[in-house]
A and B are shown apart, each in its own frame.
Chain A
Amino acid sequence: DTEVTQTPKHLVMGMTNKKSLKCEQHMGHRAMYWYKQKAKKPPELMFVYSYEKLSINESVPSRFSPECPNSSLLNLHLHALQPEDSALYLCASKGSGGYNEQFFGPGTRLTVL
């Protein structure tokens, strides 16, 4: 099973709302990632969790708050977003010990009104 799942598939929120994105993998991967992708651009790394600890934060604004409740789950909590935050949010995971491919989920299409 090389599947990473993400919910919801689509999300529309106002600038004052609080919402969360969810990511799940059951491949036993210990590294999980959040990316943001704008149209016609490559994915842009936001956060990396390694063994459930936040390892990289790419200077992401605090209105994005990641959480890793356990080794299979990754959340991204959203609060007071701006319209320019509208994008495709991708989750990925990667194994260790010589397994170098990151597997991506289908993404959540976020629209901020």
Chain B
Amino acid sequence: DQQVKQNSPSLSVQEGRISILNCDYTNSMFDYFLWYKKYPAEGPTFLISISSIKDKNEDGRFTVFLNKSAKHLSLHIVPSQPGDSAVYFCAAFIAGGTSYGKLTFGQGTILTVHP
């Protein structure tokens, strides 16, 4: 059972335009969500996160939106740059308890930004 899903395997965007990456989850116990960016043969780089008590978090060109009722979150990148081309993973976890911060990842979306 895939609790975190990224239904778009790939996304292609023109430089300067907005990139919107989507993520859906099924476990209502998740209370923290993160986005990671990954280049080939490197470790994931943390981008931005959001707590379930918020519906928006912004950091520079990156904004994450959370719709708890729809169990959906999205990452907006504005403006998109060629250097943003990478695989983007959505991840979620349940804070506290015995989860020890165990992350559940989506399958990833390959973003390509064309000059």
Contacts and interface: CB of A to CB of B under 8 A. Distances in A.
Interface residues on B, range: 20 to 34
Interface string A92-113: 1010000011111111010000
Contacts, number: 59
B3 to A, nearest CB: 12
Please classify the interface of chain A as helix (H, G, I), strand (E, B), loop, or mixed, using the class held by over half of its residues: strand
Contacts of A90: 43-44
Contacts of A50: 100
Interface string A25-57: 000000101000000111101001010000110
A93 to B, nearest CB: 10
A88 interface: yes
Among B45, B105, B106, B107, find the residue whose CB has the most chain A CB atoms closer than 10 A: B105
